[in-house]
Amino acid sequence: MGRYHRGVRADEPVTHRGMRADEPVTILTVAREAGVSKTTASDALRGSGRVSERTRETVVAVAERLGYVPNGSARHLRKASTGTIGLHVPEVLTRSSYYMSFVFGVVEQAARHDYDVTLITSGQRRARPPRVDGLVLGDPLGGDPVVESLMATGLPTVSCERFPGARQADGVVWSEHASMLGRLLDHLLGAGAARPGLIVAGDESDWAGSVHRGYLDWCGGHGVAPLVRRVSFDATGDEIRAAARALLAATPDATTPDAMDALVCAPAGAATEVAPLLREAGSGVLLASCVDSAATRMADPPITAIDLRPREAGASCAELLFELLSGAAQAGTERVHPIELEIRASTTPRP
């Protein structure tokens, strides 16, 4: 028969049905090896169509043996899909470790669905909608024109926390920040701090607004006069420290005879900025953060903080978006993302 057999050279390694060892494994390869049509093989691997269980098992076993990997690009083309989702985070917050973890959570979940992620920030003004199948909005700020334009595209959208504007995303993943702050303040009260102060950003963010409301509600319920300083969302270390100094210098009067004895910092990174200042003042003020991070965990002493579990939050937002895209979830779906209070040495009970 010579050096060739069925189109394969005699010195080339041959697998099943004359397939060369270096030949790429496609759906046609799987179908040929399983002895079925391409359509049957495709339906069997997708779990669709009228395929008997025996045939489905045969095709799946052959695909696994050959190491078949579906062509994601081709699949997205058949579905008239871009194979990409958009992720928007406020540009002033991209320096935060919280948002970096949130981004990784979205990207990891997208990869599980064979999707890519396009990052969109508020500095990107677009003349046309982004070429994506849907959008995840990380803590969208009210009044952000880019967020407004993204929500007006009609693309399926999921936001982490509610959007403090006229529109609302198709899906929302939110956390009970106000009640968690109440738990934190109860802990401070139990540690001997009866007059907590708060540094918080503006209500442009649903998260910051919830923290502020939780603080005011707690103060009202405990007969404590609020002690608050507001800072910008992109506040510098100097701005944070100036707010802390102002709270420390607040003069007690007849209606508020107690000086501040605990400080809760809402903005990410703020607690670690003011920790040295509190030590130098020697005031004995307890310190806590509304955002946990490696910095709060490694501070001296470690800082009590609320763990917002950002990586899991990002994954939850992405998963809800994919459920909206597939029809498994309906517009208007909201899910609660659990958060946790981590008690550390910075709020050790006062003598």
Q: Are residues 164 and 185 in the same domain?
A: no
> What confidence score (pLDDT) does residue 10 get?
38
CA dihedral 183, 189, 193, 199 (to 10 degrees): 20
CATH number, domain of 18, equals: 1.10.260.40
Q: What is the pLDDT of residues 290-311, one digit of tens each?
A: 999 999 999 999 999 999 999 9
What is the reported pLDDT for 92? 64
Cα separation, 203 vs 209, in Å, equals: 4
pTM listed for this prediction: 0.75
Instruction: Provide the pLDDT for residue 121.
Output: 77
**pLDDT, tens digit, for every residue of 43-73?**
787 766 678 888 888 988 988 888 776 655 4
Burial classification of residue 105, based on how many CB atoms lie within 10 Å of its CB (0-12 exposed, 13-18 middle, 19 or more buried): buried
Regarding whether 93 and 168 lie in a shared domain, the answer is: yes
Q: Are residues 58 and 103 in the same domain?
A: no
> Ramachandran region of residue 7, left (φ > 0), alpha (ψ -120 to 50) or beta?
left
**Residue 53 sits in the same domain as residue 95:** no
Q: How far is CA 262 from CA 268, 348, 351, in A?
A: 18, 11, 14
Same domain, residue pair 216 and 299: yes
Mean pLDDT of the chain: 85
Residue that finishes a domain, picked among 70, 96, 128: 70
Which of residues 42 and 17 earns the better pLDDT score?
42
Is pLDDT above 90 for 78?
A: no
pLDDT at 350: 63
Q: Which domain holds residue 88?
A: 84-175+312-336
**Total domain count, the chain:** 3
pLDDT of residue 110: 95
Do 228 and 274 sit in the same domain of this protein? Answer: yes
Mark whether 23 and 96 lie in a shared domain.
no
Mean pLDDT of 256-278: 89
* Same domain as 115, residue 37: no
Indicate whether 163 and 229 sit together in one domain: no
